[in-house]
Structure 1
């Protein structure tokens, strides 16, 4: 829980009582590798904070191919916020790439913090903006060649290459696993 509070304090000031209240509204949870935090076709009902592990945001394109859009590692918020707030059905999945330790807020508890803590909406908005910026695919630009995209992935996510399946990395980069293997071999 201390990781969550340290994260929140980056976006605003809280006294001990407020920090304790936030911690009291959250629960610790575990997500096993390949389990979903939220799923397409369902309304997202919780906000998560990754304490340990890696989660990926993914969806299926119109050809039925699974596309990895982003990776969310430790000390980051994760939520399909637009659908969470609007109480509408999601078109994306948040899936654990590794076993994960999370801190989770139910929608009710997340909303209650706005009613109790004076500056919570301001803090929450800053956290959500960062979350949405990270989730918006800041990674590979398909007009770049595959090697450049891979090198940018390594720069943006230096700790992930040995933690997530290469199939997810290939999907994120928009290449086949075979192409990714060739790229990696040529770089070494």
Structure 2
């Protein structure tokens, strides 16, 4: 849980009593590869912090194709916060690309922290802004050629390329797996 506290303290100060309270509201979750942290059509019920592993945000387009929108890895919050906050059904999936270890807060415990800790809302808002920025698709611009998109992916996510299935990378880049294999071969 040290990773979570180190993360939180980047955004504001808490005394030991407040830190202990935050830890008392958190629990751990092992999320196996391919399991969902939250699903489209359901109301997100928890906020997570990734200790180990990678989670991807994805959705299905009008043609029923699965589109990977983002990757979220260690030392990051993971939540569909817009729908979590509004208590409405999500339109995307948050799925484990690898086995993941998370620290999670239920909706009730997350909201209790705001009521009990003076200044928590300020810290929470900063964490959520960073989470939403990380989830916003800052990835490939489809007008770029596929090789450029792949090179930018490697620059933006250098630690992920050997950790996640190539099918997810291809989906994120908007290319087929065969095209991705060809691009990778040509770069070497």
TM-score, normalization: structure 2? 0.99
1:116-127 equivalence runs, <5 A: 116-127=116-127
CA distance in 2, matches of 1:9, 1:139: 28
User: What RMSD over aligned residues (CA atoms) do the two structures have, in Å?
Assistant: 0.4
After superposing on structure 2, the runs of 4+ consecutive aligned residues of structure 1 that deviate more than 6 Å are: none
Structure 1 match to 2:92: 92
1:120 deviates by: 0.4
Aligned equivalent of 2:33 = 33
Structure 2 residue matching 1:151: 3-state secondary structure: helix
Shift of 1:89: 0.4
Q: Is 1:17–2:17 an aligned residue pair?
A: yes
User: What do the CA deviations read for 1:152-176 (whole angstroms, capped 9, x no partner)?
Assistant: 1001100000000000000000000
After superposition, the C-alpha distances for 1:3-54 in whole angstroms (9 at most, x for unaligned) are 0000000100111111111111000110000000000010000000000000
Q: How many residues align?
A: 188
In the other structure, the counterpart of 1:178 is 178
Q: Deviations over 1:63-121 (max 9, x none)?
A: 00000000000000000000000000001000000000000000000000000110100
Give the gaps of 5 or more residues in structure 1. none
- Residue 62 of structure 1: CA displacement? 0.5
Aligned mates of 2:100, 2:16 — CA distance in 1: 27
Which residue in 2 is equivalent to 1:3?
Answer: 3
Offset at residue 58 of structure 1 (A) = 0.4
Structure-1 residue corresponding to 2:82:
82
Distance (Å, rounded) in 2 between the aligned partners of 1:52 and 1:23: 18
Question: Using the alignment, how far apart are the partners of 1:167 and 1:177 within structure 2?
Answer: 6
